[in-house]
Amino acid sequence: MIPAPYSTHQYPGRLRDCQRSVVIDLNALIDQAVAVGWDRREVIMALVDLLDAEATDADGLLRTMARYMGQPTRSVA
């Protein structure tokens, strides 16, 4: 489970806290992909490519991921 931020407001270190919060689940996702046959480096490169392509547009990232997964699109707004 991903922990919530310490505050709903911006604070120093919030981005770092977010990274720490998601890294365990992200590593688990990578491990799952590796377990079914993908190479770890390949999985990480795919994630970097997805995130880099849509870094300034969270809705665009979600749409891209939904297309890949065949899932309905959900807005972050």
Residue 47 lies in a domain: yes
The pLDDT of residue 3: 82
Residue 76 lies in a domain: no
**49: containing domain:** 14-69
The pLDDT of residue 25: 87
Q: Which residue type does 58 have?
A: A
Domain count across the chain: 1
Distance, CA of 57 to CA of 34 (rounded, Å): 28
What is the average pLDDT across 67-75? Answer: 57
Residue 75 lies in a domain: no
Per-residue pLDDT band at 49 (split at 50, 70, 90): confident
Q: Which residue has the tokens 């990274």?
A: 19
pTM confidence score:
0.61
Say which residues have a Cβ less than 8 Å from residue 33's Cβ, sequence separation at least 6: 43
Please list the alpha-helical segments (H only) found in 1-77: 14-35, 40-53, 58-69
Residue 46 lies in a domain: yes
Q: How far is CA 68 from the centre of its chain?
A: 14
Residue 6 lies in a domain: no
pLDDT digits (tens, 9 = 90+) for 11-44: 998 888 988 888 888 899 999 999 999 999 999 9
Distance, CA of 28 to CA of 66 (rounded, Å): 20
